[in-house]
Structure 1
Amino acid sequence: MTKISTKTLIYAATITALGLSAYTVAPLIDPKNDPVYKNLDTSVKPGDNFFEYANGGWIKRNPIPAAYSSWGIGNEVGEEIRERLRKINEDAEKANAPKGSASQKIGDFYYSGLDTVTIEKEGIAPIQSELAMIDGIKNVQDILHVSAYLNTYGTRGIIGAGVGQDAKNSTKMMVHLRQSGLGLANRDYYFRTDARTTRIREDYRTKHLPAMLKLAGWNEQMATQGAESVFKIEKYLAENNRKLEDMRDPYRNYNKMSVAQLNQLTPEISWPVLFKDLELKAVDSVIVGQPEYYKAVNTALKTFGIDDWKAYLRWKVISTNASYLSKAIEDENFRFSGTVLSGRKEQLPRWKRVLDTENGIMGEILGQLFVKEYFPVQAKARYTQMVENVRIAFREHIEKLDWMSPQTKQKALTKLNAVHPKVGYPDHWKDFSTLVIDRKSYAGNVIRARHWAYLNSVNKLGKPVDHQEWNMTPQTYNANYSPSNNEITLPAAQFIIPGVKDADVDDAVVYGYAAASTIGHEITHGFDDQGRQFDAKGNLKAWWTPQDSAKFTQRAQLLVNQFNNQVVLDSLHINGKATLGENIADLGGIVIGLTAFEKTQQYKEGKPINGLTPLQRFFLGYALGWLGHTRNEALANQILTDVHSPGFLRVNVPFTDVPEFYTAFQIKPGDKMWVDPDKRVKIW
């Protein structure tokens, strides 16, 4: 007979009283180390606010640090990774490694970023040549020439040029032109009249812009006048930027034209000359995302004066490089972007800021060292197999759909079978041998690295698509789906649960945390409102019957309505149309991940751990993926600029559409999260 302690009996009685599950003798993970049990706030009913119930205990114990606009599981993973990368950098800094080696580049970059004495001594010297070019502008051709040159060094102005796959011929790399030109995060900041947005806009126009232009070398009068010039140009361009939700229509944002047609669209711009300045070779046709924006640029070049454009370009240079220059410049940049926009009270320690910059610039060099130590072969194997388990589950969902015709189902299955997963880390790493890094200048290193990255991108023009290349580093806490490649990228860091070894996490939690919120989510992106319009080979092509397409749209609209009704702050609602793709992927990931989990031994055995059934642990594992909280300033910015809903809604809203959620937590009519069965959304 198993002896049960008094402490265990009390614990079991508490669990039962909460209505979670009846107590049975079962394997226990130490509650202090259980990645879901330890976060619970049992003062909240699961059926009233599941996010708070699942994560509220952690939130109460973990206020947002002053240097952050939000704090959650991604930050905790990031802190673990930063500490590991810090050691790698400090070792490289002392190594006296051969010139050109990975270790030399890492060590010298880190050194230059921490060398504040040299940074202060340099002032704006690292950008002085760019500022001199701007001062020398005499006509429209000069404006375009300087804009293009700056673009190649990472300063994005009026021309949003880049190289990427042709959406209708995914084997071909093409020049893309997209809307650009703004200093605030998107067009809504220039026009919304609510108090919060108005306050941000006025700070930007009357405080931030003049302060930065003064720091870039102008006197107070020139800076004040220059700020007005910058704002009036940006506001005009904003009037001709598409809204966030309108950027999600792949057909409307695909406008292929010859260079001759492009010249007709914008007669003030000689595109053959501009493409040469942009270091783009042999361009015969381009894909213009938003033609009306470039017509507006053409008008703006004639409308605004040369001095207006000089102020605008000066602002672009100083703002792009602010984080790598003197303390005064960096502090003002943080005051606006960090505090006014995001609510952060102080900056991160300098070593973290430098490390984050290095990660963005040459993260794959760090990634090679990171995965050797921190992502074992067993973990890669576990998640590679999990991708296939999720694929099998999704296949079953497609086959059982009652609203899709056999004809479309067959093509959907073909696309699903063709999804290519990239798990953990690349099989082939990027070659950084031509990137020069030294200890002389931090800003100089960043500027050279940006130019290297730009050339690395534009040199793909006319070459075969490299399906081995990753667009994320292994140490990135994120994942994505590429419609043009029909592939999912799942970096090693995305599977980390802070403070817990991967081998010690039970399948219920892992299937919620990884299979549902990440793997299933990313695969579902291939079948969301945007992704579904691309075929198995990644081409933008109508492969649905019109009837099935209409049925999908009807179901998706129900999800739009669900999220439109969510009020986050003040008068700020979720934009259900702009966030639709992510919301479809969340709901799809949950139901597909759940089907995959139902095939595991843990689900079939049904034994509780810490009083939580496997099904309950699955939902808690999913909620763990969105654990965290956010300052109001950052939430407001997210609502206006991001296609992702806030984390708490990514848990609470889709769960109300999942029947098994109601069963798992005994949710009944009258509970705040109850939705009548006939009003629940089901797509995949």
Structure 2
Amino acid sequence: MKIAPRRPAPLALALLLAVVGVTLVACKPAGTGSSPRTARAAAPTIGIDLAGMDRSVMAGNDFYAFANGKWQEKTEIPADRASTGVFYTVFERAEKRLSDLVQGLQRENPAAGSNERKIVDYYAAFMDEAGIEANGLAPLQPSLSAIDGIQDLSSLSRYLGSTLRADVDPINATNYYTENLLGLFVAAGLDDHSQNFGYLLQGGLGMPDREYYLSDDATMVANRAAYKAYIAALLKQAGTPDAEAKAQAIYDLELKIAQAQAPIVETQDIHKANNPWPVAEFAQHAPGIDWNAYFTAAGLAEQKTLIAWQPDAIRKLSLLVASQPLPVWKDYLRFHAINHYASLLPKAYADLNFAFYGTQLAGTTAQRDRWKRALAATNRDLGDAIGQLYVKQYFPASSKTQVEAMVSNILAAFRDGVDGLTWMSPETKKTAKEKAATMRVGVGYPDAWRDYATLEIKPGDALGNMLRADEFEFRHQRAKLGKAPDAGEWWMTPQTVNAVNLPLQNAMNFPAAILEAPFFDPNADAAANYGAIGAIIGHEISHGFDNLGSEFDAQGRLHNWWTPEDAAHFKAAADRLAAQYDAYEVLPGLHINGQQTLGENIADVSGLQAALAAYHKSLDGKPAPRINGLSGDERFFIAFAQAWRTKTREAALRAQVVGNEHAPGQWRALTVRNLDAWYAAFHVNANQKLYLKPEDRVKIW
């Protein structure tokens, strides 16, 4: 089972691929008010890993290896991980802190009904392996009985509606991955920004992406064979007769679902997603599903309008509901009910689940320790409750103040950069600067916390706790429909090792957990901080102006604020950047898709440029000190490349290239090729492999 962060956001532009199974949150400590200030020009520590560099490699031939080569040679990926790197190092620190907090709560024996009690009971129930073994499939029996009771199209539609959930993965934002046939996302409307609407998104697959079903790649063919064997094994474990034949039928249905789905690049086109359908007209737009039964069961029958994110996919999926044999649908639903909650079923189910999703698809050879999985699940469903405790103890007000100053400096540098664009018209510049000036920046934690009073957590009921948490989250999202959007809403729990830009809110979140060394060290040299966390800050700012973010204005409305000439220039530059990434071959025959990763690559280039300008400005006209023989710009760029150090198993690397909108870290480090200052800092010349002619270096903002 994939345990993903809670808060859904297909319009969230996140920094990186999911590297965590646990996300951490934050509480507002006293005295956190601040005003921007100039960062220090130098500090006691260098802030970069000198021992991890390989200076036998020329920076201009392989900058990633130059900055990370020794680290790459000596680093082993943990057996229970698909990858490792800086993000994992920071995540491990947060995970250890989270464990300490939970263990401390267990010793305190908190009061019944409190958030602390719910944390303790949820975690303990997950850890109760003997109880889980004794319960067998009994906790799932209500769901299985409901599936058995499906007799016709209307009852099938009712069941599908009753299991609709708000479970978009915000890390892999535009590629909606859920085992439910459809998913719900709630946010401001694209046309009517005054209220929240429900967005329906495609789902229904047991493997991570449609390409796993459609690609001719030999690895994908092997994955398909392994998936069919896994379906059969899980059904056999549950005592299902004719498991092999039913597994083939389930797979064949999922293949049809994959063929119906829209590809990633298409789902990233916001204009193709803007399809408001009156609820009363769904039967006309997408015949097949009994939509009255579906929406009544989902609690959405009173809504006037829902937005179809992938309209053609929804039409085709609806037709499949009506056209495919009812017994196959029932077997499909039974398999997915068991599969989705396998980690909370007896060990035989969990082991089968790990063998496919962990070993076959990601290359990991050992499951994560039980306590780590328990933490991930507890944090998924009680994230704000844990987070308030986390930040009280681990996120100082001084760090918040210092990071807010960096954000202010980088935003100013971005606005200055807009002024320097010779190709952009004055009217477009004015709107761009207004958008940058009004961005809402959240550092560390939200202003308001989730209320868990109505979420029932029972001792000894691990699977029931997760089922109720899923329903609780769905009710929370559904309750926002028709209300005015909350401009300050966070879409990541602030203990997440990540960051995010939210175009519909013109806002950014920089969670507490990523504001840790080596990304951010309050005692480190300014060059290292600006090269690492500064580039991340710049990245999120730039997302407001990438190929998706640039479609939204300062108020978060879908609004074309570009002159035709400016838009054409922007597209030409973006196309050149896409072509640059198309050329990177990650595995033999497997290239990065420059269009699929375009938004992230634009944010990397523009964010790095803004961070460098802000670093220079932070020096107050003084020369940067040389530290360990390295200039300020050298340290800045090395810190950036080291922030992207990563080592990934081949299966997981392939999965990222196929199904994620982020290029792998090793190639994101090569963003430096587009900045003139990198060439000067490392004396890169035309005879070196990474050299780009000045006219081929892409600058968008």
Residue 510 (structure 1) aligns with: 529
Partner of 2:451: 431
CA distance, structure 1, for counterparts of residue 440 and residue 698 of structure 2: 28
Instruction: Pick the aligned partner of 2:375 from 340, 345, 355.
Output: 355
Q: How does 1:544-623 map to 2 (within 5 A)?
A: 544-601=562-619, 604-623=622-641
C-alpha distance in structure 1 between counterparts of 2:183 and 2:393, whole Å: 39
Partner Cα separation in structure 2 for residue 522 and residue 192 of structure 1: 32
- 1 CA distance for matches of 2:694 and 2:166? 55
Q: Which amino acid aligns with 1:72?
A: G
Residue 327 of structure 1 aligns to which amino acid in structure 2? K
Residues in 2 aligned to 1:584 and 1:267: alpha-carbon distance in whole angstroms: 39
Q: Determine if contact 2:440/2:506 at 8 Å carries over to the other structure.
A: yes
CA distance in structure 2 between the partners assigned to 1:397 and 1:558 by the alignment: 20
Taking structure 1 as reference, are residues 153 and 28 closer, same or farther at Cα in structure 2, changes over 3 Å only?
A: closer
Greater share of helix residues, 1 or 2?
1
Asked if 1:188 corresponds to 2:201, the answer is: no
Per the TM alignment, residue 348 of structure 1 is displaced from its structure 2 partner at its CA by: 0.8
Question: Which of 67, 88, 104 is matched with 1:75 structurally?
Answer: 88
Aligned-partner SS, 1:39: coil
1:466 alignment counterpart: 486
What displacement does 1:301 show? 2.2
Whether the 8 Å contact between 2:279 and 2:301 is mirrored in structure 1 is no
Q: Is the 8 A contact 1:91 1:107 kept in 2?
A: no
Q: Tell me the alpha carbon deviations over residues 606-627 of structure 1, each in whole angstroms, 9 at most, x when there is no partner.
A: 2111221111111112112212
* TM-score, normalised with respect to structure 2: 0.90
Distance 1:503 1:294 in 2: 49
> Is the contact made by 1:603 and 1:615 (CA closer than 8 Å) also made in structure 2?
no
**What's the counterpart of residue 465 of structure 2?**
445
Identity value in percent? 37
Instruction: Tell me, yes or no, if the aligned pair for 1:435 and 1:448 is still in contact at 8 Å.
Output: yes
For the aligned residue pairs, the C-alpha RMSD in angstroms reads: 1.8
Q: What corresponds to 1:683 in structure 2?
A: 700
Q: Which structure is richer in relative contact order (CA contacts within 8 A, separation 6 or more)?
A: 2
Q: Given that residues 161 and 293 in structure 2 are in contact (C-alpha distance below 8 angstroms), is that contact kept between their aligned partners in structure 1?
A: no
Deviations 1:473-523 (A, max 9, x none): 22110001111001011001112115x98322111100011111x111001
CA drift of 1:60 comes to 2.4
Q: Could you say if the C-alpha distance between residues 667 and 239 of structure 1 is closer, same or farther in structure 2, counting changes exceeding 3 Å?
A: same
1:247 — aligned with what?
Answer: 267
Query: What is the Cα deviation at residue 270 of structure 1?
Result: 3.6
Task: State the Cα distance separating 1:156 from its structure 2 match.
Answer: 4.2
The residue number in structure 1 matching 2:346 is 326
Q: Deviation string for 1:168-215 (max 9, x for gaps)?
A: 23331112111111111111111111111111111112x111112222
2:160 aligned to 147, 157, 164, which one? 147
Match of 1:634 among 646, 652, 655: 652
Q: Does structure 1 conserve the Cα–Cα contact (< 8 Å) formed by 2:246 and 2:331?
A: yes
SS at match of 2:622: helix
Distance 2:386 2:681 in 1: 42
Bigger mean CA deviation after superposition, 431-440 or 477-486? 431-440
Closer/same/farther in 2, CA of residues 643 and 490 from structure 1, 3 Å limit: same
Corresponding position of 1:6 = none
Q: Aligned to 1:599, what secondary structure does the other structure show?
A: helix
Partner of 1:135: 148
| SS of structure 1 residue aligned to 2:465 | helix
How much does 1:268 deviate? 3.0
Q: Report the residue type matching 1:356 in the other structure.
A: A
Residue 60 (1) aligns with residue 73 (2): yes
Q: Distance in 1 between matches of 2:507 and 2:207?
A: 32
SS for the counterpart of 1:403 is coil
TM-aligned CA deviation for residue 426 of structure 1: 1.4
Gaps of 5+ in 2: 1-40, 168-177
> Could you report, residue by residue, the CA deviation over 1:521-571 in whole angstroms, capped at 9, with x for unpaired residues?
001001000110111111111111111111100110000100111110121
Once the two structures are TM-superposed, the CA of residue 436 in structure 1 deviates from its matched residue by: 1.3
Q: 1:95 aligns with which of 100, 103, 108?
A: 108
**Residues 568-611 of structure 1: CA deviation (Å, up to 9, x unaligned):** 01211101101000000000011011000001228833211122
Q: After the TM superposition, which of the residue ranges 621-630 and 163-172 deviates more from structure 2?
A: 163-172
- More moved, 148-157 vs 503-512: 148-157
Give the match's secondary structure for 2:354. helix
Residue 287 of structure 1 aligns to a residue whose secondary structure is strand
Contact 1:134 1:146 in 2 (8 A): yes
How far does residue 407 in structure 1 lie from its aligned partner after superposition? 1.3
Secondary structure at the aligned position of 1:651 is classed as helix
Following superposition, the deviation at residue 28 of structure 1 comes to 9.1
Give the counterpart letter for 1:57 in structure 2.
Answer: K
Aligned to 1:405: 425
Q: Which amino acid aligns with 1:213?
A: L
Letter of the structure 2 residue corresponding to residue 161 of structure 1: L
Are positions 1:277 and 2:300 aligned together?
Answer: no
Gap runs ≥5 in structure 1? 1-25
- The superposition leaves residues 619-648 of structure 1 with CA deviations (integer Å, 9 ceiling, x where unpaired) of 112112212211111000001110000001
Aligned amino acid, residue 611 of structure 1: G
Matches within 5 A, 1:155-166: 156-166=179-189
Instruction: Give the match for residue 232 of structure 2.
Output: 210
- Asked if 1:370 corresponds to 2:390, the answer is yes
Q: What is the CA distance between 1:455 and its match in structure 2?
A: 0.6
* 2:696 corresponds to 1:674: no
Residues 55 and 628 of structure 1 are in contact (CA less than 8 Å); yes or no, is this contact kept in structure 2? no
The 5 Å alignment of 1:244-323 reads 244-280=264-300, 282-323=302-343
* Residue identity matched to 2:397: V
Deviation at 1:342, TM superposition (A): 0.6
TM-score of the superposed pair, with normalisation by structure 1: 0.92
Shift of 1:267: 3.1
Per the TM alignment, residue 163 of structure 1 is displaced from its structure 2 partner at its CA by 2.3
Contact 2:287 2:315 in 1 (8 A): no
Compare 180-189 and 260-269 and name the one that shifted more. Answer: 260-269
Distance in 1 between the 2:544 and 2:324 partners? 43
Q: Deviations over 1:448-478 (max 9, x none)?
A: 1111111111110111212232111221100
Between structure 1 and structure 2, the one with the greater Rg is 1
Would the aligned equivalents of 1:175 and 1:461 in 2 still touch at CA under 8 Å?
A: yes
| In 2: Cα distance, 1:351 partner to 1:402 partner | 56
- The Cα of 1:261 is off from its aligned counterpart by 2.7
Cα distance in 1, alignment partners of residues 368 and 50 from structure 2:
31
Give the conservation status (yes or no) of the 8 Å contact 2:150–2:330: yes
Aligned partners of 1:119, 1:128: CA distance in 2, in Å?
A: 14
The 8 Å contact of residues 164 and 174 in structure 1, kept in 2 or not, is answered as yes
CA distance in 1, matches of 2:286, 2:76: 52
Asked whether the 8 Å contact 2:443–2:510 carries over to 1, the reply is: yes
CA distance in 1, matches of 2:394, 2:153: 53
